[in-house]
Amino acid sequence: MYVDELRDYCLAKPFVEETTPFGPDNLVFKVHGKVFLICNIYSTPLEFNVKCEPEKAIELRETYSSVQPGYHMNKKHWNTISCDGSANDATIQQWIDHSYDLVFESLPRKTKEIVL
8 in Cβ contact with 16 (< 8 Å): no
DSSP string for 45-88: S-EEEEE--HHHHHHHHHH-TTEEEPTTS-TTTEEEEE-SSSS-
Considering the entire predicted model, what is its pTM? 0.92
Name the CATH architecture for the domain at 3-108. Alpha-Beta Complex (3.90)
How far is residue 40's CA from residue 62's CA, in Å, rounded to a whole number?
Answer: 24
pLDDT tens digits for range 12-55: 999 999 999 999 999 999 999 999 999 999 999 999 999 999 99
pLDDT tens digits for range 64-73: 999 999 888 8
* Number of CB atoms found within 10 A of residue 109's CB: 7
